[in-house]
Amino acid sequence: MECDEPDVDVAIVGGGISGVYSGWRLLGGPLPAASLPASWAEGRCDRKLKVALFEGSDRIGGRLLSARSPHLPETTAEIGGMRYVAPAQRLVTGLIEKALNLSWHDQAVDVPGNIAFLRGRLLRTSDLGRPAALPYALDASEQAWLAARGGQSPAALIGRALQQLMPGIAEHLAGSTLREYLATVAIDRATGVPDLWHHGLWNLLAKMMSPDGYAGARATIGYDCLGGNYNALDLTAEYFNFTPEVSYRMVDAGYESVPWSLRTAFEAAGGETVLDHWLTGFERAAFADGSTGVRLVFRNGRTRLARALLLAMPRRSLELLRPEGPVLADPAFRRDLLSVSAVPLFKLFLLYRECWWQEAGVSKGRSLTDMPLRQCYYWLNGSDGRTVPHPNDPALVMAYDDLLNVTFWSGLDTRRHTAETGAVRPLFVGVPATAEVPDDPFGKRLRQNWEAHSATRTMVAEMHRQLKMMHGVDQAPEPVDAAYMDWSRDPYGGGVHFWNPNYESARLVRRMTQPVDDFPCYLCGEAYSTNQTWVEGALQTAEIVLQDRLGLHRAEWQDG
């Protein structure tokens, strides 16, 4: 058998948050004496681990994608992930606020008096708790329940159904025991399938809610996927991340500044970042010291040898790799890949010269509609994202939707797009840019991100039409610039993921981090975590690999 020397200890493939975070953690401090990484670095005089991060696209950040229009150069739009839940999301909160010490602000979401345009009727969010005002035929008990709670929206009917199904749930909502409770609670004894994880959430809700109660709840929670038929255990936990009691925080400089800062620190510690390298597959390698490693093969024909491979990418990216070798051809691994579904997500930012929507009495937070634009966020201005714009100032609105709605918008972009980056050729031509290209590298990146995601005229015109309709106006100034992303494109396959019914995520989450015993290939990222849809999930699985597979210590900032 041919024997080689590895050229890196750990090759990380995928430069999203989980990949760059793992590289930063591996090089971030002394290695525990008995750990695998320490044994790899042992023979070297500097005892330093060699870590390389390979990314197919031309940027680090993946689904954290911040952008700035040249027409509003101080304000950062979030085309991908935008917020975190503090303090409940312990890892990401500690990373941002303690380890990286980045400044943050609270995000306004459900603002009283904002708009809910449902079934063609223009309501205010304050109307949502009045059953008589709603365009939904709720049953008598739903009407009475909602009326008694004046102020809650039909979205809360999902919470009511869950409490009826699992009466003990209430006492677990405040603490950190919700998932433990959901893992052991017995439901639906009559059918002989008591475990929550065997069920699809929609299947359960359909039995507990009237058809219109369900329709109203799904419309007013903002995301269709939250009422979807994904694994009832995981989706129940996720539902409670989106109730009015939860508070969100945003990073002032943009969420992409987190992977940006990690990359800077990773490189300063000796890490190697390699962009424009798409992995096509990998195979077993045998090293001269008798150990087993990995030969990585890239689309550009290059190969690299590593002692260990960390795949930091979602389901669709894994499915795009050649199904060969000890992991990717393994039948059990291929079956496990199917345990999650990718959820299409779409965001479109429109820039207006003035905030015409403020005449309708809305200036921050979000408004809702059941039209394909679904959620409309009134974006705040300024380099720290905290300023409510003056009515005559330029400002952004963000449309945000999921599932079937995403296909509505993709039909309005007939341009060819490249398979890997999802970038589209710029066709939409606004007015000439008003700002110079920024000097600082991060500012330049934010400008490039905006320009790589330009929207088409037809898409923008349709979004403008729906925005006017939901705000009850016939005339409004035309938008001057726009950027968007359809996250269902390759290599993502979706913006976020949910476990499918019949899969026990608590068990699978560990198995996926090292799919094949005795082969040094590890997997991390949001897709196969138990904090799906969040950066927290990406960090959670990275920590399972780092601590449980590679023997690293917890970081100090992770405590409390």
Region near ligand FAD per CB under 6 A, out of 311-319, 326-334, 360-368, 369-377: 311-319
Question: Smallest gap, in angstroms, from Cβ of residue 160 to ligand FAD?
Answer: 26
Nearer to ligand FAD, 161 or 221 (CB): 221
With b for 16 or more beta-carbon neighbours within 10 A and e for fewer, the 17-46 pattern comes to: bbbbbbbbbbbbeebeeebbbbebeeeeee
Read off the DSSP letter of residue 490: T
Rg (CA), the chain: 24
Distance in angstroms (rounded) separating the CA atoms of residues 118 and 290: 66
**Does residue 254 interact with ligand FAD by CB under 6 A?**
no
Q: Which amino acid is at 453?
A: H
Q: Applying CB under 6 A, does 515 fall inside the site for ligand FAD?
A: no
Is 134 a binder of ligand FAD (CB under 6 A)? no
Using CB under 6 A as the binding rule, whether residue 159 contacts ligand FAD is answered as no
Query: 3-class DSSP state for residue 496?
Result: strand
Query: Most distant CA pair in the chain: distance in Å?
Result: 77
Q: Which two tokens stand for residue 472?
A: 């009850």
The interface region with ligand FAD, picked from 137-145, 373-381, 454-462, 527-535 by CB under 6 A, is: 527-535
495: tokens are 């913006």
Secondary structure of residue 118 in the 3-state scheme = strand
CA distance 128 to 325: 55
DSSP class of residue 279 equals: E
Q: Should residue 492 be labelled a site residue for ligand FAD when binding is judged by CB under 6 A?
A: yes
Tell which one of 6, 15, 293, 422 touches ligand FAD (CB under 6 A). Answer: 15
Of 68, 70, 75, 84, the residue at the interface with ligand FAD (CB under 6 A) is 84
- Binding segment for ligand FAD (CB under 6 A), chosen from 10-18, 200-208, 403-411, 430-438, is 10-18
Select from 320, 314, 313 the least CA-distant residue to 494.
314
Q: Does 501 bind ligand FAD (CB under 6 A)?
A: no
Query: Are β-strands 292-298 and 279-286 bridged in parallel, bridged antiparallel, or unpaired?
Result: antiparallel
Beta pairing, strands 272-274 & 51-54: parallel
Task: Determine the Cα angle at 39 with ends 34 and 42, to 5°.
Answer: 120
Judged by CB under 6 A, the stretch of 80-88, 268-276, 457-465, 544-552 that binds ligand FAD is: 80-88
How is residue 135 annotated by DSSP? S
Looking at residues 346 to 405 of the shown chain, list those that interact with ligand FAD (rule: CB under 6 A).
347
User: Does residue 55 touch ligand FAD according to CB under 6 A?
Assistant: yes
Q: In terms of CB distance, is 134 or 313 closer to ligand FAD?
A: 313
Q: For the window 273-302, what string marks contact with ligand FAD as x by the rule CB under 6 A?
A: -----xx-----------------------
The answer to whether 528 contacts ligand FAD (rule: CB under 6 A) is no
Q: Which residues bind ligand FAD (CB under 6 A)?
A: 13-19, 54-57, 62-64, 80-84, 278-279, 312-314, 317, 345, 347, 487, 491-492, 495-496, 525-526, 533-535, 537-538
